[in-house]
Amino acid sequence: MDYYSSIADLRRIFVRFDSNGDGKVSSTELRLFMWSVGEELIPEDAASVIQSIDLNGDGLLDFDEFVRLISGKGDKEEEERELREAFGMYLMEGERFITAKSLKRMLSLLGNSRSFEECKVMIKRFDANQDGVISFDEFKTMML
């Protein structure tokens, strides 16, 4: 709770989201609040946000779940799984690291062709241990 000075501040924010006053925030209420501050959130994305934080599975956010959402402490396992899946897309068979060759191949598949040299430069930018490849930990740092 670095950013918010107290639980009272979080409660006031929660009440603004909980427009019907039932002590829970639905995906509709989340969308309405976002709309009120000038952001659009499509129904599928709102439902996904709720689902990623909803610990008791009721499809709504209670205050504790809301605090997890605000503090950014969502489903870390899901986040890790998604990052590993994305990382795996860049790997070539038998590799455990993203190489310039595998990066070039994936970028070409995504319609963003780069030269081998450009891919080497891209890897160098995020290659913390300077071994010429991107490990999962380096990829994770790059993505977060």
| pLDDT tops 50 at residue 38 | yes
Q: Contact at 8 Å (CB) between 23 and 63?
A: yes
pLDDT at 73 (0 to 100) = 60
pLDDT at 3 (0 to 100) = 47
Of 22, 8, 6, 11, the C-alpha closest to 66 is 11
Rounded to two decimals, what is the model's pTM?
Answer: 0.49
What the block records as the tokens of 50 is: 């709720």
pLDDT at 125 (0 to 100) = 92
CATH number of 77-143: 1.10.238.10
pLDDT at 128 (0 to 100) = 93
User: Which residues are registered as beta bridge partners of 25?
Assistant: 61
pLDDT at 2 (0 to 100) = 44
Cα 132 to Cα 123, 127, 142, distances in angstroms: 7, 7, 15
| pLDDT tops 70 at residue 5 | no
> Tell me: the pLDDT tens digits for 21-32?
999 999 999 999
pLDDT greater at residue 37 or residue 139? 139
CATH 3.30.390.30 fits 7-74, yes or no: no
Domain with CATH 1.10.238.10 in the chain: 7-74, 77-143
> Tell me: the pLDDT tens digits for 89-137?
888 878 899 999 999 999 888 888 899 999 999 999 999 999 999 999 9
Q: What is the mean pLDDT of residues 8-30?
A: 91
> Tell me: the pLDDT tens digits for 42-81?
999 888 888 888 888 899 999 988 887 877 665 566 677 7
